[in-house]
Chain A
Amino acid sequence: MADKKRTPSGDKKLNHATSMPNLHKKLVRPVSANRNPDTSRKEKELPSLPKLRVDGRHLSAVPRPQTFRPTGSGQSTPLKTSPVRHQPKLSISESVDSYNLSVIDMYHDAASIVSPTTDVFQSLMKLGIHGYEDDFTDNYSSSSVSVADSPRPRVHADDFHFTDHSPSRPHFTDQSLTNLPYLFPSPTNLLFHQSQSNHILHSSPGRLLGSHSTLSLLSSRDSANIIRNSIELSKTSLSASRDRYGFKKKSQFVSEAAYNAWWSDYSKYLVRRKRKWELLMKQSGLTYEHDAPVRFPARSEKVKRYIRKGIPAEWRGHAWFHYARGHEKLAQNAGVYDAIVASTIDLHNKDTEIIERDLNRTFPDNLHFRSDETQQQRETETPLVQALRRVLVAFSQHLPTIGYCQSLNFLAGMLLVFMDEERAFWMLVIITQKYLPGVHDLNLEGVNVDQGVLMLCIKEYLPEMWARIGLGLDGEKLTDGNLLVRLPPVTLCTASWFMSGFIGVLPFETVLRVWDCIFFEESKTLFRISVALFDMVSPEVTQIRDQMEIFQAIQNFPKKIINPNELFDHCFKKRNGIGHYLSQEEVNKCRDFVSKQRRSHAENAKMYVLDGEGERLYDFEHRKGLNSVAWNKNLTLKMKRLRKSD
């Protein structure tokens, strides 16, 4: 906070932060209370729509925007121009206006469930979303592919019906409501879900904004949703140079050929796992209709095992949200995200400055974050980048003790691939509070604490590795008394493992598997995986004497682990696999211990930190050092017992 005060923009941020409680109060009031009285009149003015064809049926969708005027804007003239024009950065053909976008969005959803049609494909092309040509041709010989061949269950057009008073809007039957709303991510989803009525457009929380920003916001969100749906729809094909998420297969450490060789096996594994999951869902009395289940089996050893073997990719967004208790968070904070977005839309401060610099450095090799078609398209922002901006700016306002920290861009970017931005926002809040506490704080103390914990684990479980890395910057051996304060330099590298949850550290499919476990098994996963990585790189490292080369080996090794099972087998199956020893309680206890020890050093022994040699001067710290040994002994005993029982 202190350094923020230096700049005028920093002050602005403070003001925003202090006014937040009010804002929250304003937000929790029911959406309907906010309705403009002349909403109904406006509705009558809405023209009927061209019919859209879905699998041989006709489907009307939401009205075009010409006569629609957002409420609460105080603007009396109807909006005549296309909202897209108010948002020059949106990379969408001008012929597609924002409401057509939401039509396409819903249409796309419905259509993609039935079968990916050329219409959907064309919609994607129109929106500048490329790269799925292969997927369509690989998987479906023509657009009129039979429903039975479709990998996705069919949605019945009967699930849509139209009410008397608002003939132009799709509605859901009670029965379909339980499943369908989740197919329409926010804001559409939010609207259906909250109001389940005919106030689709008018009840949008986004209308707290002025008219222009409301429309551009809605259209930008809708476009982001379309992209996300296109990700869901896609499959990694051997002939494409990118994976199903839009990432280049080739990296500095993995060739495209190596990727394909691995993928042809791994994709079969994924199919097998999916079948197992479907069975598990049935046994748990849960449905996976439309291939988009929202509820998942209760916690059990079996479920844990299944999750360690990977959640089906197309279920991930919901599964993560479910196990991380996102629904609770969202329910407690209905409308809050939209209000923060509304209040921060023109915000400029130190955080937003750094956010701006990171936006085009987040997944630059991903099609959905940075198009590679033409120079011009490169310079236009993709809808996911716009969503990323909103989430990060909103987050920096919502949690001012964190603000913006580099690496949050990767966490949020990853979430946005799998869920709509409101959920991504709340997941980011949950991750930074529950799974990575303090890791992104202003002083990064949380990440130092976690590195301390990790180093204690290495010392305990991998003594040979510790002999290599447990050195200070002068090459001196770190002692129990000082290792937690003077962390070994390799922690500069491992800090990023925690800060970005292994994004950019492990190959993408491998990161996904780690994230599956994090939301079910909590943060011990991060430590287990980290120690497993150290164990795996150990044979290489023990051959090296030069510290810098050791760091590079540790830094680069994870990027080569293209096969997640290799890492997971090592972590959980192999004899002595670290994955079996480190409990969450142990991690919590150890975090506590490290944090206390570092604090006491900082408070009582400033000299110690600067001086570097003085631990013996302070009896108190020396005792703490002994405690750390005791703590380690405890782990050793535990480990021995476990080994015996193996």
Chain B
Amino acid sequence: MSIEDPIPRFAQFKLVLLGESAVGKSSIVHRFVKDSFDDLRESTIGAAFLTQTIKLANDTTVKFEIWDTAGQERYKSLAPMYYRNANCAVVVYDITQLASLERAKNWIKELQRQANADITIALTGNKLDLEAEREVSTGEAQQYAIDNGLLFCEVSAKTGDGIRDVFYRIAEQLPVEEQIRSTMSRSKPRINLNKPSTNTDQGCAC
């Protein structure tokens, strides 16, 4: 793409958050979308829809359509709706809860079986601020991520540590250029082209 290209470079992707209840999925989204941490968060029922855009180098805007999900086991029957057509998934575990890593691994297996073949998955250990209560070693989770070809991050929604990183690293892996090219080749541009992020007035429902 040349610099004098009149059409802004814009791509949009579906991102789904998965992981056991209370690992901090909604808190991670909230940190990413609002850059704040709310100690008083209600548990998510069903799903919550949010959006956030980020700017990449060479003037590219990437908009994430975020599907924040409820974590309880019984929502499994709704899960295909969550991850179908998802371009990327943030699978969250809580570094202070060993069992939550197992649950994350199960989600990853399901995604590898059922979701888009080219889905980008980021295994994300949350609550890094609770280092003293850590039950999952960085090495163990990281090794699993390497073995399965996943992105790996440790973050804290509370302090904000590493949160932006997760989404920027995902964006790097997404077929941004491909989507922009296909948009260009269509006669009509996407109607939401260049639309500012909607998260300023439509926020988290979690």
Contacts and interface: CB of A to CB of B under 8 A. Distances in A.
B78 A361 contact: no
A4 to B, nearest CB: 9
Given A406-B21, A406-B72, A495 B78 contact: yes
Nearest to A372: B40
A354 B75 CA distance: 13
A130 B76 CA distance: 41
B77 A552 contact: no
Contact of A549 (B21, B42, B82, B198): B198
Contacts of A254: none
B203 interface: yes
Contacts of B46: 492-496, 499
A362 interface: yes
Contacts of B192: 545-546, 549
Interface in A59-94: none
B11 to A, nearest CB: 14
A473 to B, nearest CB: 5
Given A252-B203, A354-B72, A357-B22, A496 B77 contact: no
A3 B50 CA distance: 31
A492 B45 contact: no
Contacts of A297: none
A611 interface: no
A558 B30 CA distance: 20
A544 to B, nearest CB: 9
B92 interface: no
Most chain B CB within a 10 A radius of its CB, from A358, A444, A499: A444
A169 interface: no
A559 interface: yes
A548 B65 contact: yes
Contacts of B198: 549, 552
A504 interface: yes
Most chain B CB within a 10 A radius of its CB, from A370, A410, A495: A495
B146 interface: no
B148 interface: no
B41 interface: yes
B191 A500 contact: no
Contacts of B51: 548-549, 552
Nearest to A557: B202
A444 B45 contact: no
Nearest to B45: A496
Contacts of A410: 42, 45
Given A361-B22, A492-B81, A545-B191, A406 B70 contact: yes
B85 interface: yes
Contacts of A546: 191-192
B135 interface: no
B188 to A, nearest CB: 11
Given A252-B203, A549-B192, A364 B42 contact: yes
Contacts, number: 103
Nearest to A3: B73
B22 A552 contact: no
Most chain A CB within a 10 A radius of its CB, from B39, B47, B77: B47
A489 B22 CA distance: 23
Interface string B98-135: 00000000000000000000000000000000000000
A487 B81 contact: yes
Q: Is the interface of B mostly helix, strand, loop or mixed?
A: loop
B186 to A, nearest CB: 14
Contacts of B72: 354, 405-406
A364 B49 contact: no
A493 B46 CA distance: 6
Interface string A341-355: 000000000100010
Given A406-B21, A556-B202, A365 B77 contact: no
B47 A492 contact: yes
Interface string B33-47: 000000111111111
Contacts of A370: 40
Interface in A401-441: 405-407, 409-410, 441
B121 to A, nearest CB: 18
A186 interface: no
Contacts of A465: none
Nearest to A357: B22
Interface string B1-36: 000000000000000000001100000000000000
Contacts of A448: 77-78
A363 B43 CA distance: 9
A188 B73 CA distance: 39
A436 to B, nearest CB: 13
Given A555-B48, A555-B205, A365 B43 contact: no
A551 B82 CA distance: 13
Nearest to A404: B72
A553 B43 contact: no
B31 to A, nearest CB: 16
B77 A445 contact: yes
Given A443-B74, A545-B192, A500 B81 contact: no
A265 interface: no
Interface in A481-501: 487, 489, 491-496, 499-500
A605 interface: no
A444 B85 contact: no
Interface in A546-579: 546, 548-549, 551-553, 555-556, 559
B55 interface: no
A370 B85 CA distance: 39
Contact of B49 (A358, A361, A444, A555): A555
A445 B205 CA distance: 23
B84 interface: yes
Contacts of A548: 49, 51, 65
Interface string B56-78: 00000000010100101111011
Nearest to B114: A610
A357 B40 contact: no
B203 to A, nearest CB: 6
B56 to A, nearest CB: 20
A442 interface: yes
A487 B39 CA distance: 34
B3 to A, nearest CB: 28
A504 B42 contact: yes
Contacts of B205: 493, 555-556, 559
A646 interface: no
Contacts of B202: 552-553, 556
The 5 closest A-B pairs by CB, nearest first: A364-B40, A496-B46, A496-B45, A492-B47, A357-B22
29 contacts: A3-B73, A354-B21, A358-B21, A361-B43, A362-B42, A362-B43, A364-B39, A405-B74, A406-B44, A407-B45, A409-B43, A441-B74, A443-B74, A443-B77, A444-B74, A444-B78, A473-B85, A489-B81, A492-B67, A493-B48, A496-B45, A545-B192, A546-B192, A548-B65, A552-B49, A552-B202, A555-B48, A555-B205, A556-B203
Given A361-B43, A552-B202, A556-B202, 16 more contacts: A357-B21, A358-B43, A362-B43, A363-B42, A406-B44, A409-B43, A410-B45, A441-B74, A444-B74, A473-B81, A473-B84, A492-B78, A495-B45, A495-B46, A500-B45, A552-B50
Interface of B: 21-22, 39-51, 65, 67, 70, 72-75, 77-78, 81-82, 84-85, 191-192, 198, 202-205
Interface of A: 3, 252, 350, 354, 357-358, 361-365, 370, 405-407, 409-410, 441-445, 448, 473-474, 487, 489, 491-496, 499-500, 504, 545-546, 548-549, 551-553, 555-556, 559
